[in-house]
């Protein structure tokens, strides 16, 4: 019995899935519910996105209103926090207004996963650099701490939203 290459499957549990019993045949019935999803803002995924946006905004404000000790380090930190904030807001609005139903050409779970992986890595690097260049200035330290908090929240979002399992497939042909 030989085993071929492994297959990686990802499943998303973002909390914005259609209600129970809503299959592909009931798309017309579910589109009459309205443009806004009233349930999504109360889900764990939405609350986590709001917490991420708030911590990123606080980190940006703390660094923006302080005396910089390293221009390149803090301009990088500002760019990373604002870009992450805008992208998280975009995904929040996609789920809130159910745009994933209209724009089916985009794999939303995959694009959100890639955003979180890349954005979290960049935010971690920016927070480490900001913390190392803060020189005990309270606003810069606070900005770095909120950057680390946002990094942790992004990691929690990836951990809670995506289940990654490796399954090996058999290449034997049944005789």
| pLDDT tens by residue, 150-160 | 999 999 999 98
* Residues forming a β-bridge with 168: 6
Cα(37)–Cα(102) distance, integer angstroms: 14
* Selection from 143, 151, 164, 145 nearest residue 122 by Cα: 151
Contact predicate 151/120, CB 8 Å:
yes
Contact predicate 151/141, CB 8 Å:
no
Q: Read off the pTM.
A: 0.76
| pLDDT tens by residue, 67-118 | 988 899 999 999 999 999 999 999 999 999 999 999 999 999 999 999 999 9
Q: What is the pLDDT of residue 10?
A: 53
Cα(110)–Cα(10) distance, integer angstroms: 9
| pLDDT tens by residue, 8-25 | 445 555 554 444 434 444
Alpha helices in 65-137 (DSSP H): 71-96, 99-102, 108-132
Cα(14)–Cα(73) distance, integer angstroms: 33
* Selection from 16, 20, 21 nearest residue 42 by Cα: 16
């Amino acid at each position: 019995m030989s085993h071929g290459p492994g297959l990686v499957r990802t499943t998303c549990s973002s909390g914005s899935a259609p209600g129970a019993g809503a299959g592909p045949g009931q798309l017309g019935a579910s589109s009459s519910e309205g443009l806004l999803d009233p349930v999504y803002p109360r889900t764990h995924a939405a609350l986590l996105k709001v917490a991420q946006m708030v911590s990123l905004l606080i980190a940006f404000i703390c660094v923006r209103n302080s005396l910089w000790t390293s221009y390149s380090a803090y301009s990088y930190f500002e760019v990373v926090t604002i870009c992450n904030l805008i992208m998280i807001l975009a995904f929040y609005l996609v789920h809130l207004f159910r745009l994933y139903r209209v724009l089916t050409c985009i794999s939303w779970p995959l694009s959100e996963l890639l955003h979180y992986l890349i954005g979290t890595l960049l935010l971690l690097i920016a927070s480490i650099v900001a913390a190392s260049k803060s020189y005990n200035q309270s606003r810069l330290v606070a900005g770095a701490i909120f950057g680390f908090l946002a990094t942790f929240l992004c990691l929690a979002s990836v951990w809670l939203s995506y289940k990654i399992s490796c399954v090996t497939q058999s290449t034997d042909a049944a005789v």
